[in-house]
Amino acid sequence: MPTTESIGPSASRATRSFVLRIVLPAVLAVVFFVLATFLLLIPAVEDQMLEGKKETTQELTRSAISVISEYYAEEQAGTLSRQEAQAEAARRVEQLRWGDEGKDYFWITDMTPVMVMHPYLPELNGEDLTGYQDKAGNHLFVDMVGVVRESGSGYVEYYWQYKDDPSRVVKKLSYVERFAPWDWVVGTGIYLDEVHAAIGAVRRNLIYVSVAIAVVVALLLFYSGRQSLRIERRRAAAEHALEESYEKYRALVEAATEGLLIVIGGRTTYSNKPLADALRYPESALADLEVSRLFSVEGTDAKALDLLRSGATEGMPATFEARFKTRDGDTVDALVTSTPISLGGRDGFILLVK
């Protein structure tokens, strides 16, 4: 029986093979998944969320401009004077709200810029905002006029009070668009604190999901790894036991002075020199031959020959007469003593030839 020490090298090789073939690719897959999540997926989701918010402000601003366009059409039709049409349009836009709390709003300036309407800071209405700055020193309304003068519309980032709370000043990203017939600048914006909070929640959820997937994969890898490693080690031990058994029987064959032949599964696996010489074969030539090539049907016990061909051991005569065929076509009669053996789970015989 092989000892732990004797199968150590085989088990070690099996372990290394298992790590290289199964563990390493699986671990790399998990690592690549985590890296892809943090370096590609999460940034892409964050960018997509911000772009979605920006597109929302753009569409909402254009909706407000469509309201203003209705009053411009009445001015063109002569139903209202320009002053009346602008006053009614500003009043309608002042009442528009959006967002989860219904507190996000629109404002209007002209191209000076003078504030036409602000729903939360009515004290600014009619004021020239050319010198107006936020806490970072940005001339935000001048910047808005510059953006629409150059491109017709665009985004401006600055600091502003949070919705209707003048005590809280946060960074805001606003979309502004020019209503050319009246030289108005209409805008609305998103508070970047809210955007970052929403992105942070999505990021956390993605991290939780990624970690959960990684843990499940790791547990599955650990379980399947243990099972596979056990199989690999058992296989290595079986291979070593087979090699050890083979070497043991080979040593017996080489030490014998009479002819010896090992037959496994209907084929020869080894013979000693006395038998090879008697049959005029090179010793290596008898290492893998079909049994029927060595035995003549005439002169060989039929039952024994059938069992040698099939590899079955049950019912084999302990001693039987046989007629061997030499390499050059002659025959040699002999008395054969059979001993059943098992090598690596395969049945066979040691044949002592006299």
User: Based on the structure, what is the number of domains in the chain?
Assistant: 2
Q: CA-CA distance, 189 to 119, in Å (whole number)?
A: 14
Question: Can you read off the two tokens belonging to residue 236?
Answer: 């290595």
Greater model confidence, 208 or 88: 88
Q: What is the CA radius of gyration of the chain?
A: 46
Identify whether residues 193 and 276 lie together within a single domain: no
Instruction: Answer yes or no: do 155 and 41 share one domain.
Output: yes
Q: Are residues 324 and 192 in the same domain?
A: no
Hey, how many other C-beta atoms are within 10 angstroms of the C-beta on 29? 12
**Sorting pLDDT into bands at 50, 70 and 90, what band is 109?**
very high
3 and 102 in a single domain? The answer is yes
pLDDT digits (tens, 9 = 90+) for 255-305: 667 888 888 888 888 888 888 888 998 878 888 888 888 899 999 899 998
What's the one-letter identity of residue 141?
Answer: F
CATH code at 104? 3.30.450.20
Asked if residue 1 and residue 82 are part of one domain, the reply reads yes
Calculate what percentage of the chain has a pLDDT beyond 90: 43
Residue 134 has pLDDT above 60, yes or no: yes
For residue 165, being part of any structural domain is answered with yes
pLDDT of residue 16: 67
Q: For residue 246, which of 124, 114, 150, 348 has the smallest C-alpha distance?
A: 348
Global pTM reads 0.54
Please determine, for residue 226, whether its predicted confidence score (pLDDT) is greater than 90: no
Across all residues in the chain, what is the average pLDDT? 85
pLDDT of residue 20: 65
CA distance 204 to 40: 15
What digits encode the pLDDT tens for the residues 55-88? 999 999 999 999 999 999 999 999 999 999 999 9
Give the span between the Cα atoms of 20 and 12, in whole angstroms: 12
Boundaries of domain holding 266: 256-353
pLDDT, position 1: 41
